[in-house]
């Protein structure tokens, strides 16, 4: 399998190497598979026989070896969301639930496993990233399992669970007093100086391909079918582009039929540069200063923003945003209807989906997939003020009975 | 006046490998013009067809992205540092 990188802008080809940017035109480099070798070889039957993890699609990934923790990553549940469907008055609703991805409870485990496989191939002893939290968790966990050292940079005001969930793996964690975009700039400068494998810098073309498995799984789990609508949260804008790429690759290989798939991107109103671009019909992305409780999406200068906007426009989808209150309501709605506790990014996506459905942009009789990419246990701070204990009582039956009788509707 | 400009790896082929150079000018646009004079070809691929910077290139005056300032017209003074960096992803 050719492991070549190619510039997305000018098409210049590069051999496999830790690099993310075209030397000629500065466009981003992307990994490309030679499909002609795979048609008729990678079949539904062949994939279906394989273990239920993301490596069942390995021919479509830029890897030669699966790293140590990789064997259990991916193939998360595609939940049939009947209760939420009823609530919204839609007929066919699914949730792709990466809140329970292994090992660190977000879709970032997928991208990191590919990046770490490449880091090992390239001989890096240190891996790192700039992160809003989930990526830090995933890099720290998998680097520990692969006996690699880490250099992980985060904004210092991240949720405590995401900080603890990085430190526990013995990571070198640098908290930076600035927003993600400032952390990212610093990370780029560090990556320029030290020969380390930064998953979102010099390993980015490989890392990003891991996101495709989220899309492949949706298509396979739907019975080798394309949903008519997919809603995706956006931070840097990479996942939404790779979901579209997953659909296109499966179509090219004949694994699914050609049918339209509208893709929608969701951002928090306090950090919606990509949604703004789409809604206002702009060609250029204007960066913003993030101000939202959805910290995992708080990237004001998303590197893949223009490509994410293109995916929405080309597919017939659009962008939608959510306020902080709507984000909290979205988290609670998903939890109380489907029993799935997602993080703030999931709340953004749920709130955006609700708007798209209520406004009629997504018709109620068509199939819809909601992308849950992270776990609510990591961002509990965002919702603790909005939920409360039913009652605190003495350990007597009398106290319980009084509470029950005064409880009213909640118990019915 | 002269300001320090930090050069990313991808542009060092124009600066004889130097990661930092001095340039003259009162705005980012003038700084880039001076860099082109000093190092022919330096800005050749920095600009998009509309005359604005390509979206894959970020320029900072001190710590701030010039898109939050006055874009290419952002004023610079001596002691300022201009940093040119590729855009990168994450999350």
Residues A268-295 pLDDT 10s: 999 999 999 999 999 999 999 999 999 9
Give pLDDT, residue A1: 42
pLDDT tens string B28-80: 999 999 999 999 999 988 998 888 899 889 999 999 999 999 999 999 999 99
| For range A112-127, the mean pLDDT | 95
Contact (CB, 8 A) for A219 and A255: yes
Q: How far is CA A96 from CA A215, A333, A337, in A?
A: 9, 16, 15
- Residue in A391, A372, A375 with CA at minimum distance from that of residue A383: A375
**Which residues in B lie closer than 8 A to residue A192 (C-beta atoms)?**
8-9, 19
Q: Could you tell me which chain B residue has the CA closest to the CA of A135?
A: B91
Percent of chain A with pLDDT over 70: 99
Secondary-structure percent of chain B, ordered helix, strand, coil, rounded to 5? 20, 30, 50
The strand pairing partners of A95, in sequence order, are: A79, A370
ipTM: 0.92
The alpha-helical segments, DSSP class H, found in chain B are 28-38
**Nearest CB to A131 within list B87, B88, B91:** B91
β strands within A15-90, DSSP E: 29-31, 78-80
**Nearest CB to B10 within list A21, A130, A134:** A21
Q: Tell me if A304 and B86 make a contact (CB, 8 A cut-off).
A: no
The Cα A366–Cα A361 span in angstroms is 11
Q: Tell me if B45 and A24 make a contact (CB, 8 A cut-off).
A: yes
pLDDT at A2 exceeding the cut of 60: no
**Which residues in A lie closer than 8 A to residue B90 (C-beta atoms)?**
129-132, 135, 180, 184, 187, 200, 235-236, 299, 303
Q: Tell me if B89 and A135 make a contact (CB, 8 A cut-off).
A: no
pLDDT tens string A140-149: 999 999 999 9
Give pLDDT, residue A337: 98
- Residue in A112, A90, A163, A30 with CA at minimum distance from that of residue A358: A90
- Residue in A90, A93, A84 with CA at minimum distance from that of residue A368: A93
Contact (CB, 8 A) for A79 and A57: no
pLDDT at A3 exceeding the cut of 60: no
CA atoms within 13 A on the CB side of A167: 10
User: Tokens at residue A349, please?
Assistant: 């996506």
**Which residues in A lie closer than 8 A to residue B65 (C-beta atoms)?**
181, 287, 301
| For range A32-50, the mean pLDDT | 89
The alpha carbon of A253 is separated from its chain's Cα centroid by a whole number of angstroms, namely 24
Give pLDDT, residue A70: 74
State the best of A14, A21, A345 to mutate against chain B, taking most chain B CBs within 10 Å: A21
pLDDT tens string A212-246: 999 999 999 999 999 999 999 999 999 999 999 99
| A242 and B CB contact within 8 Å | no
Q: Tell me if B83 and A185 make a contact (CB, 8 A cut-off).
A: yes
User: Which residues numbered 286-345 in A keep a CB inside 8 Å of some CB on B?
Assistant: 286-287, 289, 296-297, 299, 301-306
pLDDT at A35 exceeding the cut of 90: no
pLDDT tens string A353-389: 999 999 999 999 999 999 999 999 999 999 999 999 9
Q: Tell me if B90 and A187 make a contact (CB, 8 A cut-off).
A: yes
């Amino acid at each position: 399998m050719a492991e070549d990188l190619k510039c997305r802008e000018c098409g210049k080809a590069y051999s496999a190497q830790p690099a993310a940017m075209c030397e000629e035109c500065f466009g981003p480099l992307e990994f490309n598979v030679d499909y002609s070798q795979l048609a008729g070889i990678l079949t539904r039957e062949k994939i279906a026989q394989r273990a239920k993890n993301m490596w069942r699609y390995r021919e479509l990934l830029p890897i030669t070896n699966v790293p140590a923790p990789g064997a259990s990553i991916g193939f998360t549940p595609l939940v049939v969301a009947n209760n939420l469907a009823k609530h919204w008055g839609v007929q066919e609703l699914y949730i792709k639930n990466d809140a329970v991805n292994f090992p660190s409870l977000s879709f970032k485990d997928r991208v990191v496993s590919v990046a770490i496989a490449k880091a090992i191939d390239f001989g890096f002893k240190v891996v790192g990233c700039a992160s809003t939290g989930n990526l830090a968790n995933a890099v720290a966990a998998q680097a520990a399992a692969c006996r690699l050292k880490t250099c992980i940079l985060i904004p210092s005001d991240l949720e405590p669970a995401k900080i603890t969930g990085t430190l526990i793996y013995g990571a070198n964690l640098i908290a930076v007093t600035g927003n993600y975009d400032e952390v990212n700039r610093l990370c780029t400068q560090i990556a320029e100086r030290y020969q380390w494998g930064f998953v979102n810098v010099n390993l980015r073309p490989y890392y990003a391909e891991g996101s495709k498995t989220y899309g492949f799984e949706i298509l396979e789990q739907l019975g080798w079918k394309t949903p008519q609508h997919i809603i995706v949260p956006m931070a840097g804008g990479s996942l939404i582009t790779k979901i579209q790429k997953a659909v296109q690759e499966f179509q090219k290989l004949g694994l699914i039929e050609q049918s339209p798939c509208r893709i929608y991107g969701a951002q928090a109103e306090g950090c919606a540069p990509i949604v703004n671009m789409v809604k206002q019909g702009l060609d250029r992305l204007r960066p913003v200063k993030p101000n939202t409780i959805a910290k995992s999406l708080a990237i004001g200068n998303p590197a893949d923003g223009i490509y994410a906007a293109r995916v929405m426009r080309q597919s017939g989808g659009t962008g939608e945003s959510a306020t902080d209150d709507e984000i909290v309501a979205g988290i609670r709605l998903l939890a109380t209807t489907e029993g799935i506790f997602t993080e703030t990014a999931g709340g953004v996506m749920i709130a955006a989906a609700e708007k798209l459905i209520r406004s009629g942009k997504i018709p109620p009789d068509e199939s819809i997939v909601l992308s849950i990419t992270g776990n609510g246990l990591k961002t509990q701070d965002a919702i603790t003020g909005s939920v409360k204990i039913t009652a605190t009582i003495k350990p007597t039956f009398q106290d319980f009975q009084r509470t029950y009788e005064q409880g009213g509707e909640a118990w019915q | 006046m002269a300001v320090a400009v930090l050069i990313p790896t991808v542009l060092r082929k124009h600066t004889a490998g130097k990661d930092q150079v001095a340039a003259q000018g009162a705005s980012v646009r003038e700084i880039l013009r001076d860099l082109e004079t000093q190092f022919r070809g330096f800005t050749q691929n920095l600009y998009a067809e509309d005359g604005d910077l390509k979206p894959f290139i970020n320029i900072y005056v001190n710590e701030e992205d010039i898109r939050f300032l006055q874009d290419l017209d952002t004023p610079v003074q001596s002691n300022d540092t201009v940093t040119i960096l590729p855009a990168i992803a994450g999350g």
